[in-house]
Amino acid sequence: MIIYEQENSDGLSEKISGSFSIAYNSLLSPFTVENNKFRDKIAASFNDPDLYYVQSILVSSSWNRNDDIFDKKEIWAARHTPEDKPTNLEHNENLIIGHITSNWPITVEGELIPEDISPDDLPEKYHILTGSVIYRAYSSEDLRERTENLIHSIQSGNKYVSMECLFKGFDYGLINSSNNEYKILSRNNDTAYLTKYLKAYGGNGENNEYKIGRVLRNITFTGKGFVNKPANEESIIFNKTLFNENKKEQFLEKRKNTNLIKYGHDNPFANDDIKSKIVETMRNKYGTDHHMQSKEMKERVKNKYINKYV
């Protein structure tokens, strides 16, 4: 990271060069069907007994309590970077407990943000919702007990997630205390004197009539930790009960909409062109209108059940 002459003069070079990563805590709340605005955006499988799936808000485009500013365009550019990154306990890299599996940008109302949206059209505030897994299939009794205790804490609403990220630079976010006007000021040789006012480097977060924050640039999300300390009430962990109730309905609705767009009917077999193509394919491959009527398929099914039950 670039260190400017004024920052050297202010004795900040070590603090700046040593603070290219941050962790940001977010509260995990118990999920309820009745009032949770993210209820329709859960998308993970819960069938594997060796994994426990959780979803939570990783980060929001906002000014956080540490006066770090997650700009909406910066988050958008980094939105895919959390995937496959590790999750741990209390930010201890020696206590890896799982990994992140998926990410969804969503609005504050819980609506999925389309991938082809222009960054200029992004809402001022939105969230990155992540799905992740916790490993359960340990041979060690101590590790199994640790995992089950963590899961119990999550289900009881007593755990929090803490986002981890790297960044390669920063600018200044300024809010005028008299009119609440917000603007971003580029960090350079002429403005580097403002760094000493940032809370991240020992300042009080104010300069004259302005509140000043650090706008993070070139962000890479590196994972998340499960912690005990609360910070941001907007992060939510989702349980699997609701997902199991809604998964089939969501899938069927999505398939219905896809078929309407692609075939002009919610059932593609009602489309004469599609139906004739399917029949033609079946005839060419199996010599009959339906694959289960063919001798080949009947023989396969027969052998399958003979091998399974006899």
The DSSP string of 96-144 is EEEEEEEEEEEETTSPBPPTT--GGGS-SSEEEEEEEEEE---SSHHHH
Residue (of 60, 106, 58, 113) closest to 83 by Cα position? 58
- Give me the torsion for CA of 197, 198, 202, 204, rounded to 10°: 60
CATH of the domain at 70: 3.20.16
Q: Does an H or E element contain 281, and which? A: helix 272-286
Q: Is 104 a member of any domain? A: yes
Q: Is the pLDDT of residue 24 over 80?
A: no
User: Are both 25 and 149 inside the same structural domain?
Assistant: yes
User: Are both 234 and 135 inside the same structural domain?
Assistant: yes
Q: What is the per-residue pLDDT for 163? A: 86
Q: What is the per-residue pLDDT for 230? A: 46
Average predicted confidence (pLDDT) for the chain: 78
Q: Is the pLDDT of residue 310 over 50?
A: no
The single-letter DSSP state of residue 215 is: E
User: Are both 108 and 55 inside the same structural domain?
Assistant: yes
Domain that holds residue 257: 252-309
- pTM of the complete model: 0.68
- Number of domains composing the chain: 2
Q: What is the per-residue pLDDT for 18? A: 77
User: Are both 56 and 161 inside the same structural domain?
Assistant: yes
pLDDT in tens, 130-155: 888 899 999 999 999 999 999 998 88
pLDDT in tens, 5-17: 999 999 999 888 8
Q: What is the per-residue pLDDT for 194? A: 97
Non-local (6+) Cβ contacts of 76 within 8 A are 105, 119, 122
User: Are both 233 and 129 inside the same structural domain?
Assistant: yes
* Banded pLDDT at 77 (limits 50, 70, 90): very high
The whole-angstrom separation of Cα 184 and Cα 78 is 19
Q: Is 183 a member of any domain? A: no
User: Are both 265 and 154 inside the same structural domain?
Assistant: no
User: Are both 137 and 278 inside the same structural domain?
Assistant: no
- Give me the torsion for CA of 216, 222, 227, 229, rounded to 10°: 0
Q: What is the DSSP string of 154-184?
A: HHTT--EEEEEEE-SEEEEEEEETTT--EEE
User: Are both 270 and 228 inside the same structural domain?
Assistant: no
Average pLDDT value for residue range 85-100: 92
Pick 263 or 66 by higher pLDDT: 66
Q: What is the per-residue pLDDT for 37? A: 45
Of the chain, the percentage scoring pLDDT greater than 90 comes to: 42
User: Are both 232 and 160 inside the same structural domain?
Assistant: yes
Q: Is the pLDDT of residue 297 over 80?
A: no
Average pLDDT value for residue range 70-83: 95
Q: Is 13 a member of any domain? A: no
User: Are both 141 and 262 inside the same structural domain?
Assistant: no
Average pLDDT value for residue range 94-118: 91
